[in-house]
Amino acid sequence: MNSIDTVCFLSFMFSIVGIGLWRAGKVRQESSYLLADRKIGLFALTATLVMTEFNTSTLVAFSSMGYLTGLFAISLPAVFLIGLLFYSGVVAKKWKQFNGLSVAQFFTQRYGRGVGRVASIALLTAMAGFSAVYVKSLTLLFALIFPSMSFEGLSLLLVAIVVFVTLRGGLVSIIHTDVLSFCVIALFLPFMAYFAWSAAEFPNMNQFFEAYPLESATAILPPSFVIAITLITMFTYILAPWYGQKIFAAQSEKVARNAVFIAAILVFAFYSCTVFAVSLLKLKGVALDSPDLALPHLLQHYLPRGWKGLGYAVFFAAAATTLSGVWSAMTSMVIADFLEQKDRGSYKRGACITLAFAALSYLLANTLVDQVFQKLILANIPILALSFALLSGFYWKKASSKGAILSIVVGLLWGIGVYFHYGEEGGYQWYWAVYGIPLIFLTGSIGSLLFPDRSEVIVEQFD
């Protein structure tokens, strides 16, 4: 980056650090650290939900598909549009009615401590995988700026910066940095798409179809895969702890539902801008060693002075707030489900747990994660297994703890089984989603009818 890019990059970074630390000074209690005192309004909640979903892992993954398949890859942002609209209509209001400390608490209250612990372990396992993928993708994005640094050293530096910005203030710092990042990204992405379009000399649709024939695009990104991950997204996002925690922080049920609805549209628009911009690289004749390098290449070579530095800064902010949001949700879950509630008070306990999860993310990113997109999907197996237990817990009074456990076990075994049997090359996602979701709900329903709870444990506010 040149001097102008460096100034823009550092200016935005200092702004993010400043607002995070400024708001952190007002956090004294654990309730503020984890839930921002449950006072978040519509704009701030929408912004933080968008930034929670808008992360470098998905950016790198979708950009790689945009480079390989062109505009057909916009079907991937559409997956999130459908998934979040489903969340808004089905569970946003229910989660705010529950208004707990973590989503896993619901399983404890509805089905008992045994199911609650199983849910917590499943969700923590999934989030450990997600956070590692986020660190990996963030490091890939910045590797072009710091080519002399080792991957391990660069990822350590980036994780340390994220910890520095958000550790002290918890969810309060996360939400306020999200608002700033959201405003800048809403301005930056349309301009990034325009600069890429201009560099490609404003191609028309015919040129896109010539560069990306539909047959080759669907061979790389089969419609069956898109359908499968749409179903997976619908039935995993409803359980997402990083979304649930922010819904708990909303002012009201109406704010929660409307914020998710608006966020669904904005997330689709933001990712579509990125896919469009990256798809123009093929029209310029750009050949890359790896499709994962498409977005870094675009930032490095096609943005004017100043914009390049701003681009790296806003994408870092997107990763930082998503990553810290996942750590915060993991911390809430550990405190709610595994620690003594009488010890609540100071924020320091939560900060120490968050720091431990940050270290775990760094370790896993440098040992287990190879392909960003596939590992991002794979980490959903434990979450999807909980889908029957959640929805039946909200909507079906006859759902029992044994039925919930049966559905979870079947969901885990099915997801792991099809992954090892078919593999990523064999399209395990289709068998996992299309056959696995009905199987999870069928076994959970049969188990609940055959093995009802002796005394129904129903949370009255969901009736």
Give the pLDDT confidence of 23-56 residue by residue, as tens digits.
Answer: 656 655 656 566 667 888 999 999 999 998 888 7
Structure confidence at residue 293 (pLDDT): 84
Query: What's the CA gap between 133 and 138, in Å, rounded?
Result: 9
Is residue 74 situated within a structural domain? yes
**Is 0.95 topped by the overall pTM?**
no
Is residue 430 situated within a structural domain? no
Rounded to an integer, the average pLDDT of 240-266 is 92
Is residue 395 situated within a structural domain? no
pLDDT in tens, 137-194: 788 778 877 888 898 999 999 999 888 876 766 667 778 888 988 999 999 999 999 9
More confident residue, 260 or 162: 260
Residue 385 pLDDT > 90: yes
Alpha helix ranges (H) inside 170-283? 170-199, 205-211, 214-220, 223-237, 241-248, 253-283
CB atoms within 10 A of CB 257: 21
Structure confidence at residue 458 (pLDDT): 46
Query: What's the CA gap between 418 and 443, in Å, rounded?
Result: 17
Is residue 187 situated within a structural domain? yes
- Owning domain of residue 230: 3-377
Query: What's the CA gap between 448 and 399, in Å, rounded?
Result: 5
CB atoms within 10 A of CB 31: 17
Query: What's the CA gap between 81 and 129, in Å, rounded?
Result: 23
Domain count, the chain: 1
> Six-digit token pair at 210?
């010539």
Is residue 60 situated within a structural domain? yes
Three-class SS state of 189: helix
User: Please, what is the Cα angle at 429 between 78 and 333, to 5 degrees?
Assistant: 80
Q: 218 phi and psi, to 5 degrees? A: -75, -20
Tell me, what CATH number does 88's domain have? 1.20.1730.10
Residue 132 pLDDT > 80: yes
Residue 76 pLDDT > 60: yes
**Cα 108 to Cα 104, 300, 438, distances in angstroms:** 7, 49, 24
Q: Give percent of the chain with pLDDT exceeding 70.
A: 89
Three-class SS state of 359: helix
Rounded to an integer, the average pLDDT of 231-238 is 94
Is residue 451 situated within a structural domain? no
**Cα 103 to Cα 107, 110, 272, 323, 336, distances in angstroms:** 8, 11, 30, 18, 9
Structure confidence at residue 341 (pLDDT): 58
Highest mean pLDDT among 137-151, 192-206, 223-237, 364-378: 223-237
In sequence order, the β-bridge partners of residue 346 are 29
Structure confidence at residue 55 (pLDDT): 81
Structure confidence at residue 326 (pLDDT): 87
Closest-CA residue to 35 (of 20, 50, 21, 45): 45
Closest-CA residue to 208 (of 69, 29, 337): 69
More confident residue, 124 or 169: 124
pLDDT, mean over the chain: 86
Is residue 409 situated within a structural domain? no
Rounded to an integer, the average pLDDT of 401-423 is 93
Residue type, 279: S
Is residue 383 situated within a structural domain? no
